[in-house]
Amino acid sequence: MKKYTLGLICLIVASFQMNAQKPIIYTSSEILSQIKKLSIIGSVLYIAAHPDDENTKLLAYLSNEKKYRTGYLSLTRGDGGQNLIGDEQGVELGLIRTQELLAARRIDGAEQFFSSAFDFGYSKNPEEALSIWNHDQLLSDVVWVIRKFRPDIIICRFPTTGEGGHGQHTASAILAEEAFDAAADTTKFKEQFLQGVSVWQAKRLLWNTFNFGTVNTQKEDQIKIDIGTFNPLLGKGYGEIAAESRSQHKSQGFGVSAQRGSSIEYFKTIKGTSPVNELFDGIQSNWNRFLKDSTRLIKDIFDLEDKSPWQLFPSQNIQNRIDSLVIKFNPEKPYESINQLLSLYNLLFNQQAKFLSPLSVWSNIKCHEIASLIEKCGGFYMEATTTTPKIVIGDSVYLNYSFINRSNIKIDKADVNFNGHKYIFDISKYNQSINKMDTLFVDSNEKIAQPYWLNNKIKNGCYQIASYNDLGNPESEMKCASFYLNISGTPLFYEKNLNYKYTDPIKGEIYQPVTYIPAVYLEPNQSLVIKKGSQKPSITLTITANRNITLRSFKANDKELLLNTMLKLRKNEKKEFRVLLEDGLTKFSAFEDSTQFDQYVKEINYDHIPSITYFKDAEVNCKYIKVNIGKKKIGYIEGAGDKVDESLSQIGYDVVLLKKENITTEYLKQFNAIVTGIRAYNTNDWMNEVYDILMNYIKQGGILLAQYNTNNQIGPLKVKIGPYPFNISRNRVTDEKANVKILNEKASIFNYPNKIDNSDFEDWVQERSIYHATDIDSHYEKLISMHDSNEKDDDGSIIMAKFGRGKFIYTGLSLFRQLPSGVSGAYRLFANLINAE
């Protein structure tokens, strides 16, 4: 027989890498738990619509108690949600929530997958969701993940019948049900078979029923599993692990307290065979599941008559070896298990995996697990780092490779390879840090480190993902250094992300992702410019050189701006240009010979996730908006995060951000209106302390405009908002094109300083409104009504009351989305709201 090569193993180990993080310290009890997991051959895929839809307690239980390979497929990245920690919306919020999900998975032990769906916001039914999304594209995505992950069981968070509320929730269940069959159909998405997958039939599709508020879908005739058990090896119950995992969804305000003790989950069979007592009833979840196929294949290969395949290797039965590993494991000397692990490793890959095709997928999965266990048992430390977070394409960078053997295990050879640069470590010393310095020139053909789903424009409600190599993955493949160890003649390969490492005087040692960046940034100071008259507006465009460079051309659309000259820039030098804009979209580009530069870098930084870097096109949209702004001086109280204040400044308002200490009767006299940002009353506990001051401001003739707030478990409303009572509901109008009925055409907010009519509600984005007022006191006037298809009119999106000589207004209109998008009518309406008479 030909000797089995380990090329595939390298790929498998690399595929399990996650984003930059401080190295995890594994205890012996955690290592023992992972050794036990080697016995388990079984996988579960959980499917829902958004980050935070997943049942984290169930994922933690399946991954750590039952030790199944467990994955979560979120159709979207949560781009259309709200943001409680900053002003990022849309794509930027999706980037944040992607990393929050990965942080959660690092805690509960599951793997993370995504489809190409863009979260366009709340939808009330699946028909709306699937009319915006490209149904066939998403079905193909889900089928791809199923065929690649090969789950024995698929579990939906939501049903197809609508009890999950959100239309995208229901759509996720519909797609999961269709994909359950389509993944096993040789006529469906046949192009996928050219990408290394084959048909796959999961054994059953289950619905994880729930009891959410007033909606209880759990029944006693459903299968019940107690997942509230305590794991003594981890020192935690699954309710405790789940709380830590779920609390990573910080942008959604999903911090939760730990639950301890019994916790029953309910399941209903949707397709396939029904379990009776356990989710895996009738499914063999150990190595014996391959025994029948193994016997047939070995007999075919070796022309055996009556021998069992295990008679070929009587002393090497896989399960027996794992059992022996568990029994002999010494928590004080975990490295003593390495020889046994090496023996199991060689058994799987040097002998059986060559010809036992049913074992091929699981052999490679277990290869990764065993290699990882050898690393942990040996205390081997390997890292590749830089002294800079950004590597410039076409420039040089300094790298450091480190290796330490902190065990008594003899390593025959150790080296590292990065981009063809190979270094051999001197491994003669025990527990000594061995470092290799390297200078790497980054080829000019290298690609920037853009998240793969942002490489193309969104179309038909979906990201356009060019490669199956990316599809389903939580993030782009990172640059890795390949570490090679040879122990007792067994070669082992470890892929380690290239990270930026530094020491913060407060936070200590920090690891962050490394980003490949272009040689030049072209960054306009605004991406949207509002033009109010005939005069051409201008913007400042900054060219930043990330290395020494000579630019031979610099253009705005097709207009050359350098005018027969060259622009020479030193590394880190910046050059500003003042550019007059034409109406519409202006795209900027610069050229070094034939290399084009037309982007700039954006960063998102929060302590609970790795730094996020992505690139935006160097372009500016100039929009003409006919708007009279009226009185100009505005005070703005920030809430959860929006860009309304910036948008108001663009059209000429003098906006002053107000803090608690500024809100005094005397200080507020200078303002014509006070505006509260979205969720200001949810996020600022001190708003109750300034209530009387704000009410007095209204009495003296001021206008207080309160943008939407929530009143639920995520954002409870603990303070009074207006001068008269009203409550905040979850009512909303999700159709951004819904007809708007003006209830009182003579009201000042429809007449001054701009005349408002139905044309001002054209071209809105994502939604009309959210979190309407309800139970409204009779002092308030309701100003508009609207509704989604097949629903009754709702008149709670704008309410106004006179109080003293001034006005109080509450609105759930999604003006915080419309203004940054340049919606003309939204600017005109906002101007009227803060000039109400």
* Tens digits of residue pLDDT in 666-679: 999 999 999 999 99
Closest C-alpha to 217, from 259, 172, 262, 265: 265
Give the strands of the sheet with 520-524, arranged side by side: 520-524, 538-545, 574-580
Token representation of residue 756: 């408002």
Angle, alpha carbons 75-80-86 (nearest 5°)? 125
In whole angstroms, give the CA distance from residue 617 to residue 523.
9
Residue 260 CB: number of other CB atoms within 10 A? 14
Type of residue numbered 308: S
φ/ψ of 606, rounded to 5, equals: -140, 150
Q: Cβ neighbours of residue 252 under 8 Å, at least 6 residues apart?
A: 51, 52, 78, 81, 82, 84, 97, 714
For 455-478, write each residue's pLDDT tens digit.
Answer: 999 999 999 999 999 999 999 999
Quote the CA–CA distance of 285 and 112 in Å, as a whole number. 22
Spatial contact of 620 and 524, defined as CB atoms under 8 Å apart: yes
Tokens of 301: 């290969």
133-to-69, 90, 104, 172, 710 alpha-carbon distances in Å? 30, 16, 27, 11, 28
Asked whether residue 573 carries a pLDDT value surpassing 50, the answer given is: yes
- Backbone angles phi and psi of 803, in degrees to 5: -145, 110
Cβ burial, residue 243 (10 Å; 0-12/13-18/19+)? buried
Interior CA angle at 112 toward 279 and 213, to 5°?
65
What are the tens digits of pLDDT across the range 128-168? 999 999 999 999 999 999 999 999 999 999 999 999 989 99
pLDDT digits (tens, 9 = 90+) for 594-625: 999 999 999 999 999 999 999 999 999 999 99
DSSP 8-state class, residue 214? T
Residue 431 buriedness (CB in 10 A; 0-12 / 13-18 / 19+): exposed
Those residues whose C-beta lies under 8 Å from the C-beta of residue 24, and which sit 6 or more positions away, are: 106
Q: Please state, in angstroms and as integers, the Cα–Cα distance from residue 664 to each residue in 395, 675, 697, following that order.
A: 55, 15, 9
Average pLDDT over residues 774-778: 96
Phi, psi angles (nearest 5°) of residue 48: -150, -165
Provide the residue type at 226 as one letter.
Answer: D
The structure tokens listed for 245 are 């995992």
Q: Please answer whether residues 183 and 143 qualify as being in contact, where contact means their C-beta atoms are separated by less than 8 angstroms.
A: yes
Contact 735, 768 (CB under 8 A): yes
Strands 619-624 and 528-531: what pairing?
Answer: parallel
Q: For residues 247 and 335, what is the distance between their CA atoms, to the nearest angstrom?
A: 35
Helix/strand/coil for 216: strand
- When pLDDT is averaged across residues 627-631 and rounded to a whole number, the result is 93
Q: Is the pLDDT of residue 562 over 90?
A: no
**Which residue(s) pair with 559 in the sheet?**
556
In angstroms, the Cα distances linking 380 to 273, 329, 403, 422, 494 are 45, 18, 7, 19, 11
Sign of CA dihedral 75, 79, 84, 88: positive
Query: Is residue 190 within 8 Å of 139, Cβ to Cβ?
Result: no
pLDDT given for residue 428 in this prediction: 81
Query: Could you read off the pLDDT of 705-750 as tens digits, one per residue?
Result: 999 998 865 555 668 899 999 999 999 999 999 999 999 999 999 9
Positions of E strands within 625-702: 633-637, 654-658, 673-676
Predicted confidence band at 331 (pLDDT cuts at 50, 70, 90)?
very high
Cβ–Cβ under 8 Å, residues 551 and 543: yes
Q: Which two tokens stand for residue 73?
A: 């497929």
CA–CA gap between residue 414 and residue 402 (Å, rounded): 11
Instruction: Report pLDDT for 719.
Output: 80
Res. 786 pLDDT band, cuts 50 70 90: very high
CA distance 368 to 345: 9
Is pLDDT of 641 > 90?
Answer: no
Closest of 281, 290, 418 to residue 352, by C-alpha: 290
Contact of 335 with 379, CB cutoff 8 Å? yes
What pLDDT is attached to residue 349?
A: 74
Mean pLDDT of the chain: 91
Q: Which two tokens stand for residue 534?
A: 């005939």
Entry field: residues in the chain: 837
**Digit-coded pLDDT (tens) for 359-390:** 678 888 998 999 999 999 999 999 999 999 99
> How big is the chain by its Cα radius of gyration, in Å?
30
Candidates 108, 93, 15, 107; CA nearest to 51 is 93
- pLDDT of res. 313: 42
Q: How far apart (Å, rounded) are the C-alpha atoms in residues 808 and 699? A: 10
Q: How many CB atoms lie within 10 A of CB 769?
A: 25
Give exposure, 320-339, as e/b (b: 16+ Cβ within 10 Å): ebbeebeeebeeeebbebbe
Q: Are 770 and 122 in contact (CB under 8 A)?
A: yes
Fill in the amino acid letter for 593.
D
CA torsion through residues 257, 263, 264, 270, sign: positive
H, E, C per residue of 717-776: CCCCCCCCCCEECCCCECCCCCCEEECCCCCHHHCCCCCCCHHHHCCCCCCCECCCEECC
Contact 507, 488 (CB under 8 A): no
| DSSP symbols for 522-559 | EEES-SEEEE-SSSPPEEEEEEEESSSEEESEEEETTE
Residue 18's pLDDT band, with cuts at 50, 70 and 90, is: very low
